[in-house]
Structure formats: C-alpha cells, structure tokens
Amino acid sequence: MKNPPRLSRSTRTKAIVPVVLCGGSGTRLWPLSREQHPKQFLSLLGEHSLFQDTVRRTTQVGHVLGPVVVGAAAQRFMLAEQLREIQIDDAVLLLEPEARNTAPAVAAAVHFVAEAFGPEALVFVMAADHAIADTPAFVAAAAAAAEAAEQGHIVTFGIKPTRPETGYGYVRVRDGAVPGAGGAYAVDGFVEKPSLERARQFVEQGDHYWNGGLFLFRAGRFLSELRRFEPETHLRAREALERAHREAGAISLDPEPWRACRNESIDYAVMEKTDRLALVPLDAGWDDVGSWSFLERLPASDESDNHAQGDVLLEDAHRNLVHSSGRLVALVGVDDHVVVETGDAVLVMAKNRSQDVKKIVQSLKQRRRVEAEQHRRVYRPWGHYETIAGGERFQVKRIVVKPGAQLSLQMHFHRAEHWVVVKGTARVSCGDKSFIVSEDQSTYIPLGNTHRLENPGKVPLELIEVQTGCYLGEDDIVRLSDSYGRVEPAAAPPHGA
C-alpha cells in the first residue's frame, strides 16, 4: 500500500480526504441487487455504477486526496476493478472482515486518515450508493461544509425535502446561521422516520431536512467526539487498524478487535449526541436509490406515466415501474405496479409496497436460495462466469477471463470438466502438462487433476465449461496457489469425501 506523506502546514487544512462507505446490501432493489453484487456496483442511472459515480464526483471537490474506500473483504476485487475502470489509482481499500454498521467503518477510516495525514486533515464521509443530479451544487455545498469544518464543527449535509417522505430520517435546524461557519445552521435535533402527516408538516415548516448520511469534519475533531461517546468503538477500531494486514492498495482490518466494535450507526454513536454538529443545506438532486420507487423520479418513458428501462412493451398500462435486464417484458391492462426482470428471477409487486422487497430476500435466505446472494453471472478477480444450464450430474458455464489474468491452480474431488474455447487463446495446465488451446478447440480436465486456466492474449478469453460429477458446488475447489491471495489452509473435501 502506498504510504501517503503527512500534509504540509500550507495544505494541511485545505485538502479533503473522501471516505466512501461501500458496505450496503441494497436488499430493497432485489432482484437486480444481490448480496454478492449489491446496488452500489450496478449501473442504474447511466454508464457508471453508483459507486463509480460517487468516486468520480469526489474529484470535483477542491483539493482532494485519493479516496479511502471502506468495503467488505469479499468484494475487494470488485472494488479494485471498478476503480480501475474509472482510472482511479490512488485509492486505499479498507476491508472489513464482516459488516459492523457505519460507526466502526467511519472510525477505522478516520483513524487511518489521522495516521496518514494528521488530525487536522478534513474528512468527507459519504455512502457509495447515493445519486446526485447537480454536481456543481454538490461542490458548492462541500466548500461551505469545509469552511465550517475548519472552525471545528462536525458538518452534516441536510437534503432539502422535495416531498413528504416517510422512509427517511430528518434533521431539525434552529433559526440563524452558526457564526463563522460559512452559512451552516445549528442543529436542533434528529427525527426518526415520521408518519405521512408529520412528514407533510416538516415540508411546510421548512426547518427540517432529510438526513442524507454525508458528513465533513476534521479527523481529530471526530475522533475526540467518538472517544467521548463511544470509547470502546474508538479503541477497537484503532486496534483493528493497527493489527491490520497491509499490502499494496489494501488494508485488511484485524477480525478480533473488529468484532468487538458495537454494531452501531454513526448517527446514533456520535451525530445525535455531539454539540459540535452543524448543517449545510444540500439541494443537488440527491436520491438514496433505496427502492424501486426511485424509477418514478426519473422522466416518464411514455404518455401514460410509465417509467420503463430495457426491452419493455406496454399496452393499456399506466403508472408502472418496469425494468428489464434482457428479456422482453410485456404488460397489458396493468396499473401502478413494479415489474423487474433478471436472468433468474422476476419481481412483480404493487407500487406502494416497494419497501417490502426485503421480506422476499429474507424468505429466500431462510430457504437457502442462491438468488438472494448472487446472479447467474458471478464476478471474480480474473473475470466472470455465468451459469447457462444445469441438471442432475451436469452444469454448463460460460467463462470470460481478462487478458493477462489466470485462475488459481486448483483441483476438484467430485467433478471433471470439459473446456471449449469460443474466443481468444487459452493456456492450460493439467497435471504435469502445459499447452495452448485455440478457438474451436477443446480439452478435458479429469476428476482429481490439478489444473489452471490462463489468458496469455490481448483480448478476453471466452470458453464454455461443461462440468460432470456427483457434486457441482463452488465449494468443491481446492486452491493450491493463486495470484489473488485466495489460497486458504486445506480443508476436508465437501460431503465428507
């Protein structure tokens, strides 16, 4: 990992270190969002994913240093690949061994910033899965917040409400700006998700803002408040960082002290208790993209007030929200519904029940259904694979390997594999042999043989893999060596073999 220098006296109070929290699961956007590929990695609003848009937006905010990205260890390579795609090469990945809510995540990140840049560095905390329509307004609000943070305030960004929303928390402000804080308001209190009637009152009163979960502060100021209100989280997060495994571009937090951190949000841990809080209004087209109802806030796609994305055909249908990932979706005589199609699942629900999708996800998890966790397409550091077909004792996958990448050296206890190259060139190691397989050629990997697949070419390698055997689960892989550090101590073969 790069070891950034401490800020000089001339820049110490001007540079901003973005901290991007990337640990959300996005269950209310199922079936498009899955546990292993959550909404922040999806391209819902344009060419880039929500995570990529968030990181790109930070580069517009004045004197910005490389972002600190806090995410799950299991998503390390997805994070790295998405950063590479947008040409961000100075990010630091702070990897959580398990999810512990936003208070420990922010604590570890701010400890890192204070260690690397000093306690006077400004930290800008934001979620990876929010949308901002007006970047110049976002930049202006960040500048105002930085001015207030320079004066020692912990700044929250209040989103100007555009409707009576019952799914968000609110922040109430007092009359008058905070002296010397760049037009920021003093905070009078937090309000939990209100009833519809109270939400209407908040909009009419004009002194309540949505709590958008964005914060800007000096590293030292936040850590002193965290120590004051949550000393155990302050201590354990620091220990997890001190004992972390560090390598180029990534810091893997130590699991033992990390699990001792309280599972608490940053709002409850610090923001609702501190007397240092100030609010800067943010009117920049913010949206948390928290449920399928976000489609309703995009321009309608027809005169019947439908909002459709993808291959969609509508007849005598009104006010529907429809998303197709590939197949044709047709609606006839249907009003006020949400319909979402993916390769392995279709969601149909009344539009006013969009907050209840998480109940379906919970039910899938209870039934141990794979649709709760991953898509048919599964991403790996070397590329991705997609399950095409399967049945008793066989499974067919399409595998894509990036140029120069290679799979681990591995073996299986229960399955043999047939590989057919359809594009590019493969270098195959099987047993003590190594050979090239070109387009329209194939090879066979017998059960129990050590093997590796590599793409030595300049274009993506695509092949069809046919697996045969008595057990075809992904846990029937014994990695003997791996370019991506995924080798673990040998375990007993699955099913007691």
Q: Spell out the CATH class of 377-496.
A: mainly beta
Fold topology of 16-287: Spore Coat Polysaccharide Biosynthesis Protein SpsA; Chain A (3.90.550)
Q: Which residue has the tokens 């398990």?
A: 98
Name the residue among 495, 492, 491, 478 with its Cα closest to residue 412.
478
> Low-confidence residues of the chain, pLDDT below 50?
1-13, 180, 489-497
313 phi, psi to nearest 5 deg: -125, 125
**pLDDT tens profile 398-440:** 999 999 999 999 999 999 999 999 999 999 999 999 999 999 9
What residues does each domain of the chain span? 16-287, 292-360, 377-496
One fold for both 16-287 and 377-496?
no
Say what the pLDDT of residue 7 is.
38
Beta strands (DSSP E) in 307-425 are 307-309, 312-315, 321-324, 329-332, 337-341, 346-350, 377-380, 383-391, 394-401, 409-411, 415-423
How many angstroms separate the first and last alpha carbons of the chain? 40
359's CB contacts (< 8 A; 6+ apart) are none
Q: What is the dihedral of CA 131, 370, 469, 421, to 10 degrees?
A: -20
Say what the pLDDT of residue 182 is.
60
Q: Which amino acid is at 431?
A: G
pTM over 0.85: no
CA angle at 307 for the pair 304 and 312, rounded to the nearest 5°: 95
Q: Cβ atoms within 10 A of the Cβ of 281, count?
A: 17
Say what the pLDDT of residue 177 is.
58
The encoded tokens of residue 472 equal 């075809």
356 phi, psi to nearest 5 deg: -95, 5
Say what the pLDDT of residue 287 is.
86
- Asked whether 428 and 463 are in contact (CB, 8 A), the reply is no
Say what the pLDDT of residue 47 is.
86
Strand pairing of 250-252 and 92-96?
parallel
Which helix H or strand E contains 150, and what residues bound it?
Answer: helix 135-150
